[in-house]
Amino acid sequence: MANVWFGFPSRKLIVIGVTGTDGKTTTASLIYHILHTAGYNASMISSVGAVIGGKPYDVGFHVTTPSPWALQRFISLCHPELVSGSKSPRAEMPKQVRHDNKDHYLVLETTSHAIDQNRIWGIPFDIGVLTNVTHEHLDYHKTYENYVKTKAKLLKMARVAVVNRDDISYELISNIKNQISNTHSKNKKWVTYGLRDDSDVNPQKFPFKSTLIGEFNKYNVLAAVAVCRSLGVDDKTIRNAITSFDPPIGREEIVYENDFTVMVDFAHTPNAYDAILSSIKSNIKFRLIHMFGVAGERDASKRPLMGKASAKYSDIIILTAEDPRSESVEKIMNEIESGIKIPNSKFQIPNKSKIQIFKIPNRQEAITAAIKMARRGDFVLITGKSHEKSMNYGKGEEPWDEFGAVSRALSVRRDDK
């Protein structure tokens, strides 16, 4: 009904869908930035908001892929005159996606929930990107295999499938590659990317420079490169755009850098923790203080894994609330802590007997404590909420501002001195 009401607006666009557990927002933003830098008429809908015709829009609380009605409304805004029924540029792309100054490109961050719940029904994807599939949302998908299969549906829909060759999910994706390749058999293209030289796009074949930290961001860059080359953007423009790219709000964002450093990041999976914490730890000489929580009424099996991932690199861990919903914050914190302390082979952290663990249910108080205990040269990492503007304690969404909380904590520290 939403598609009919808005006149199937996506049919008049060239749509790039980006899915995956981690890296979706950065990859989508990179693709948009490269296209915009290249002079393409591009828009983007992601978890940090929408940018349509150069105008920013808020997509709402805790939203990555909006509901069908909101999504189709945003899409209809991409190119108002297209909704009236002009000829779709896709009709002139029999073999590959072609660039035309009159075309409008939409980069759409797409979650597994949105795919499974048919929120993206009716959208003809020209390119589908899979960043990775790691431990997440198993409360919903039940098994990792189901999770991968759901993500793979986006690849089946698309004319060009862009896949991370190095990711653990690739083996499962390969098993259904023939099925995917048979979809749109005349136009289907399969593109792999990765750090090794057995992928189609890699640093050996496409050297680049980026200010983004961490190996995980190299994958995000390579995914964006694979997409934009498929769209016909020249290599020089792609490289220039990569060097000028700033990460989205709340992605490895340094909010204070003086005698110590404070970074806010949206990382909220074990894989994301391992990626960002390892990158930070290898570049600092002093203590790494990590403050985080885990969402309530969501995949509880990842909670001890979050504790384990943080404990591999952190010197001080502060556990707190992160959208506990109707669950007890204390219960969630205890389950995270079990991943650090349970003495068995699955969760044992070697050489970490000196880790300090604090449990502070109030998130503002936890942020204040993390910043007050920082010494010269320390690095404070605050993860989980980032750009989100609300907190859920089981009675609906309440206003929350992570950056404001950090600012207040810094003020308290200054006042105490």
Q: Distance between CA 120 and CA 133 in Å, rounded?
A: 19
Establish if 224 belongs to a structural domain. Answer: yes
Mean pLDDT (the chain, rounded): 87
| pLDDT recorded at residue 95 | 37
* Domain count within the chain: 2
pLDDT digits (tens, 9 = 90+) for 126-154: 999 999 998 776 667 689 889 899 999 99
Residue 248 lies in a domain: no
- With cut-offs at 50, 70 and 90, classify the pLDDT of residue 333: very high
Range of the domain at 93: 2-243
Summarize pLDDT for 309-319 with one digit per residue, the tens.
999 999 999 99
Q: Is the pLDDT of residue 243 over 50?
A: yes
Do 221 and 292 lie in one domain? The reply is: no
**What tens digit of pLDDT does each residue of 21-80 get?**
889 999 999 999 999 999 999 999 998 888 998 888 887 756 557 788 989 999 998 865
Residue 94 has pLDDT above 80, yes or no: no
| Res. 101: pLDDT tops 70 | no
233 shares its domain with 272: no
Q: Looking at the structure, do residues 237 and 259 belong to the same domain, yes or no?
A: no
Query: Does residue 198 lie in a domain region?
Result: yes
Looking at residue 345, its pLDDT comes to: 35
153-167, 171-185, 272-286, range with the lowest pLDDT: 171-185
CATH number of the structural domain spanning residue 322 = 3.90.190.20
- Model pLDDT, residue 187: 61
